[in-house]
Structure 1
């Protein structure tokens, strides 16, 4: 068994597509019209055949309160791994990405958290154990 697709609930698919591709550097895997929305997935340039991230519309009535509760409690909706957190933090900050948690040590990882502009907090982690 393997993870195929994971979702992140987004307020606006077009805005999310711009942020996840132009700022984060993901590439589009699928963009299929589905009525008012799209089956819209992105993948890492480093692993184009890897797990897909579905930019899922926040249409379900529970989505808004769920996302708000996570953001209010500072809980990321997803976590992405990077090789060099300091370098990625600086790159994203130069692109205008707003961080809610600047790089910090957290056990076996260094981590930071940013706002994806679509209603979510996203965590970046760099593995430091064994380095």
Structure 2
């Protein structure tokens, strides 16, 4: 049975991305992409570490998850080998964001490409993942 809008609706609160190194991941996702650190809690050799968009500081948190589990390496490598992004982030203008990021040394595996209702580009996040940026038309 469907819930009426606003009553006990399921919302996306957290989503994760595996990073080879949490410090390197935090630096890339904040200094290069412009996210802000939201939560950092020590958990032994790793941390519960999240970032958020400054446009939505109380919005969805991206967990920078340690890539320590043995299944992570082969999974991520297979996606990279096939050119498949791990996730997608929305931007106002893919072309402008592409130029800004290239100037910062970010390596793109796909330049801005018009795909009808959306323009996308794909880059290497330096942490073991390909990430897509997209603008809806």
Q: TM-score range by the shorter chain?
A: over 0.9
TM-superposed CA distance for 1:107, in Å, is 2.5
Residue 32 of structure 2 is matched in structure 1 by 23
- TM-superposition CA deviations, 1:33-63 (whole Å, max 9, x none): 1100000000001111110000000011100
Q: Secondary structure at the match of 2:55?
A: coil
Determine if the alignment matches structure 1 residue 60 to structure 2 residue 69. yes
CA distance in 2, matches of 1:65, 1:40: 23
RMSD: 0.5
Determine if the alignment matches structure 1 residue 103 to structure 2 residue 73. no
Count of residue pairs the alignment pairs up? 128
Counting only pairs closer than 5 Å after superposition, residues 1-131 of structure 1 correspond to structure 2 as 1-128=10-137
- TM-score w.r.t. the length of structure 1 is 0.96
Q: Secondary structure at the match of 2:24?
A: helix
Structure 1 unaligned regions, length at least 5? none
Bigger-Rg structure (1/2): 2
Q: After the TM superposition, list the runs of 4 or more consecutive aligned residues in structure 1 that deviate by more than 6 angstroms.
A: none
Structure 2 unaligned regions, length at least 5? 1-9
